[in-house]
Structure 1
Amino acid sequence: MGVRGVGGVAARQAIEGLRELAGAGLPVAAVFRRADELLRQVLEFDAVCWHTADPATGLVNSVLSDDLGLGAFEEAVRLEVWADDLATFPKIRRSGFRAETLSRATRGRPEHSVRYREQVAPAGFGDELRTVFDAHGGMWGCAAFLRAPDRGPYLARQRQLADTAARHLGRALSACHAPPPEAPGPGGSGGGPAVMVLGMTNRPIAVSGPAEELLARLADPSRTSLAVPIAFAMAAEGARRAAAGLPVSQAKIRVQDRDGHWFVLHASALRGSAGGEVTVVVTRATPADAIPLYLSAYGLTAREQEVALLLVRGCDTKEVARLLAMTPYTVQDHLKSVFAKAGVASRRELIARIMLGGLG
C-alpha cells in the first residue's frame, strides 16, 4: 500500500524518513533507533523490541530494546521456538504480509495467544503489533511493538502503516549487511571452529578458547538475562526441538559480527543426555554461505544475482550468456546494474569487495 493509503501527514513523513534510511549508511542499531523516532508517535506504541535475523532463514539472531529490561528472556526464546502461537514472525512472513496484530489474529480475544498470556499481559501491555523486515528475497529483521492496555487495540490503518514501514526497513537493514567499501581485516576465530556445550537453560558448561572470543564478538546490542547471545540460544532450542522429533526451519543460523564478518552456528543435542545439553559449533561462513547474502544485501534482482555468482566463479561474459541462455548484450546490461548497486566499477572490484569484505 502506498504512503497515501496509510493516511495522515505524520504517517507520510514517517514513511519518507524510513525510505531515506536505506541510503543513510547507518549501522543496524542506529537504523532501529531512527525508526523508533519516526514510528512511535504514529503507531502509538509504548515499547518496542527490535531484532536482526538470518536473512536466509528468518531466524532471530540479535536483540535491541531501549524500553524493556529483557529479564527472564529465556522464556521469550522458549516461546519463540516452541510455542505454536498466533501471529509469530514465521507465520506473518508466510502470510504474504509484513505486519500483524494480536488483536486481529485472535479476533479480539488476545487471551487465546500463549504469548499474550505468558509474556505480553504479565509485562503490563495490551495489544502487540509484529512486523517482519523482508527485502530482496531475505528477512533481515523483525520487531514487536507493545502498547498499554488503555490505548486499546491497534487500528487497521496503523497495521497498514507498519506493513509499509517494514518494507523500507527491510531495505535499510539489507544495506547494513553489505560488505563495507573498505574491506576490514580478517575477523577472529578464522583458524578453526569454536565449540561450546550449553546446558538446559542455555548456560555454557564447556567453552573452547575461540568460543570465548566469539561470545564477545557476537554479543547482542542489549543486555538480556541470557548467558549467551540470542543466536546461540535460538540455535540450541532449535536443536532440542529437532531432537524431540518436531519440525524445525533450519539446523543452522547465520549471524554477522560488528566488523561485517558472517559466522554460522550449527547446534545438535547430545544423544543420551538427560540434562538437555546441546553442542554449538561456530565457523566462519564459507563463500557458499556468505556470498548470496551479500548479493541480496546489494539489492540485486534474482537474475542479477545469478550473473554475479557466475562472475565470482570466474566465468566471462560469453560463458555467462551461454549458461543463462541470454545474449552477451543482456549480460552486459545486467553487469552495469550489478556494478552500480554494489558501488564498484569492474568485475575485479566486485569480487574483491565480496570476498575480502566478508570473508577476508
Structure 2
Amino acid sequence: MRELAGAGLTASEVFRRADELLRPVLEFDAVCWHTADPATGLVNSVQSEDLALDEFEHAVRLEVWADDVATFPKIRRSGVHAETLSRATRGRIEESVRFREQVAPAGFGDELRAVFDAAGGMWGCAAFLRAPDRGPYLERHRELADIAARHLGHALRACHVPAGAPVEADPGPAVLVLDRRNRLQALSGPAEELLARLADPTPSSLTVPTSVAMAAEHARRTAHGLAVPQLPVRVRTRDERWYLLHGAALRGGGAEDAVTVVASLASPAEVIPLHLAAFGLTAREQEVALLLVRGGDTRDVSRLLAMTPYTVQDHLKSVFTKTGVGSRQELIARIMLGEGL
C-alpha cells in the first residue's frame, strides 16, 4: 500500500490496485470508491466494478441530506480513518437510515467506510460492503482499513501533483440547469464538452457527473436554510484542470427544487493551496511557500510568520526538495503555472 504513492498511478489505477490488495484481508464483497474535493471533503466521483449503481442518485441524496451515523464527514471529524456501521450503531445496525434504504436493499450486511486524508486534505473515500452471512466486520478489519486509508490518502495526493499539462485558453463558464432529480434540462457555454471531461469512471443512474449532482444537492440545502460545507465543489478534469462548481436553487416559474450549476475554471490563486498540499508540504511549509509565491522574501516571511530567517531557510529547503525545484523562480513556475521541471 505504501508503494502506491510512488507508482505514478492515476486515481482510478490506485483504486484498482488497492482493491486487489485489500479484498482478501478486509473480506468485503463489493466496494464503491470516490475521489473528493481535498479542501471540503465533498465526494466528486464514483468508481465501482462490483455495483451497478442504478440507484446512485438516492445514494447522493442520502449522503447530503440524511443525518446518519458513520458518514464520511463524521468519520473524518472523529479522528479515525475508518468506521463500520455495526460499531457505530453498537450492533443495532437497523438504526442506520443508510442501512435500511441502501445497504440492506442491495443485499448487503455490514458496511465499512474509510476516508483517505493526507497533508491536511481529504483526497478520497470508500465504502466496503459484505454479504450478511459473513457477519459484521471485526475490529481487526477496521484497524487494517484505518492503516490502509492513510497510505491511500498519500497515494491519491500524489495523483494531484501538477505534471506540466499544457496551458489552454479559458473556455469560459459552463452553465447547467438540473431538475429536482438532477436530470439535465438545459446547458450553455462549453458545458457539453466539460461534462465529458468530468464523467465518472463508472456509469451510474445519474445523468450528470457526481460532482455536479453534489453541487446541486448542497445548493438545495442552502436554499432550505440548512448548514452546508464550505463551497464551491472543486473537481479536477481528466486533463488535470481544476474547476469550481457553484450551485444555486431556482425559484418561481414552476422550477421547484431546480438548480443551476455554474462550472468555472479555477484561477491560479484558487489552485495554489491544492498544489501545495499535493506535494505533501506541511502546514508551515505551505505558509512559507505561499508567501514566497506571492512575492515575499525571506525577511517578509520571517516577519509575517514570526520565525527566524534561519528557520525560514530550513523550511524553504524542505519545500524545494518536496517540489523538486532549485530556486524560488522554479517554485513559482511549478506552483503557479503547473510547469513540469
TM, length-normalised to structure 2? 0.96
The 8 Å contact of residues 260 and 357 in structure 1, kept in 2 or not, is answered as no
Q: 2:64 aligns with which of 59, 81, 99?
A: 81
Residue 139 (structure 1) aligned with residue 122 (structure 2): yes
Residue 301 (structure 1) aligned with residue 282 (structure 2): yes
Q: Counterpart of 1:5?
A: none
SS of structure 2 residue aligned to 1:311: helix
Q: 1:204 aligns with which of 174, 184, 189?
A: 184
Q: Counterpart of 2:220?
A: 240
Farther-moved stretch of structure 1 (348-357 vs 119-128)? 348-357
CA deviations 1:114-155 (Å, max 9, x no partner) are 111111011111100000011111111100000011111000
Structure 2 residue identity aligned to 1:150? D
TM-aligned CA deviation for residue 348 of structure 1 = 1.4
Q: Counterpart of 1:11?
A: none
Q: Counterpart of 1:320?
A: 301
TM-aligned CA deviation for residue 279 of structure 1 = 0.7
- Equivalent runs, 1:107-186 vs 2, <5 Å: 107-180=90-163, 183-186=164-167
SS of structure 2 residue aligned to 1:22: helix
CA RMSD of aligned residues (A): 1.2
The 8 Å contact of residues 40 and 231 in structure 2, kept in 1 or not, is answered as no
Q: Counterpart of 1:28?
A: 11
The 8 Å contact of residues 126 and 149 in structure 1, kept in 2 or not, is answered as yes
Structure 2 residue identity aligned to 1:253? V
Q: Give the Cα separation in 2 of the matches to 1:211 and 1:128.
A: 36
The 8 Å contact of residues 187 and 261 in structure 1, kept in 2 or not, is answered as no
Q: 1:42 aligns with which of 25, 34, 38?
A: 25
Structure 2 residue identity aligned to 1:337? S
Q: Give the Cα separation in 2 of the matches to 1:324 and 1:242.
A: 36
Structure 2 residue identity aligned to 1:284? L
The 8 Å contact of residues 268 and 337 in structure 2, kept in 1 or not, is answered as no
Q: Give the Cα separation in 1 of the matches to 2:90 and 2:232.
A: 35
- Equivalent runs, 1:259-270 vs 2, <5 Å: 259-270=239-250
SS of structure 1 residue aligned to 2:156: helix
Q: Give the Cα separation in 1 of the matches to 2:288 and 2:71.
A: 35
Structure 2 residue identity aligned to 1:185? P
SS of structure 2 residue aligned to 1:40: helix
Residue 332 (structure 1) aligned with residue 290 (structure 2): no
TM-aligned CA deviation for residue 25 of structure 1 = 1.3
Q: Give the Cα separation in 1 of the matches to 2:255 and 2:6.
A: 51
Q: Percentage identity across aligned positions?
A: 74
CA deviations 1:337-359 (Å, max 9, x no partner) are 0011111222111111122228x
Structure 1 residue identity aligned to 2:232? K
Structure 1 residue identity aligned to 2:148? A
Q: Counterpart of 2:231?
A: 251
Structure 2 residue identity aligned to 1:237? E
TM-aligned CA deviation for residue 60 of structure 1 = 0.2
The 8 Å contact of residues 158 and 279 in structure 2, kept in 1 or not, is answered as yes
Structure 2 residue identity aligned to 1:235? A
Q: Counterpart of 2:265?
A: 284
SS of structure 2 residue aligned to 1:215: helix
CA deviations 1:307-360 (Å, max 9, x no partner) are 1001110112222222222222221111110011111222111111122228xx
Structure 1 consecutive aligned stretches of length 4 or more whose deviation exceeds 6 Å: none
Structure 1 residue identity aligned to 2:225? G
TM-aligned CA deviation for residue 209 of structure 1 = 3.0
The 8 Å contact of residues 173 and 189 in structure 2, kept in 1 or not, is answered as no
Q: Give the Cα separation in 2 of the matches to 1:313 and 1:209.
A: 32
Q: Give the Cα separation in 1 of the matches to 2:173 and 2:26.
A: 44
TM-aligned CA deviation for residue 187 of structure 1 = 4.6
Q: Give the Cα separation in 1 of the matches to 2:63 and 2:168.
A: 30
The 8 Å contact of residues 36 and 43 in structure 2, kept in 1 or not, is answered as yes
TM-aligned CA deviation for residue 287 of structure 1 = 2.6
Q: Give the Cα separation in 1 of the matches to 2:285 and 2:109.
A: 44
TM-aligned CA deviation for residue 274 of structure 1 = 4.0
SS of structure 2 residue aligned to 1:304: helix
Residue 64 (structure 1) aligned with residue 47 (structure 2): yes
The 8 Å contact of residues 197 and 238 in structure 2, kept in 1 or not, is answered as yes
Structure 1 residue identity aligned to 2:223? A
The 8 Å contact of residues 172 and 189 in structure 2, kept in 1 or not, is answered as no
The 8 Å contact of residues 100 and 129 in structure 1, kept in 2 or not, is answered as yes
Q: Give the Cα separation in 2 of the matches to 1:319 and 1:106.
A: 51
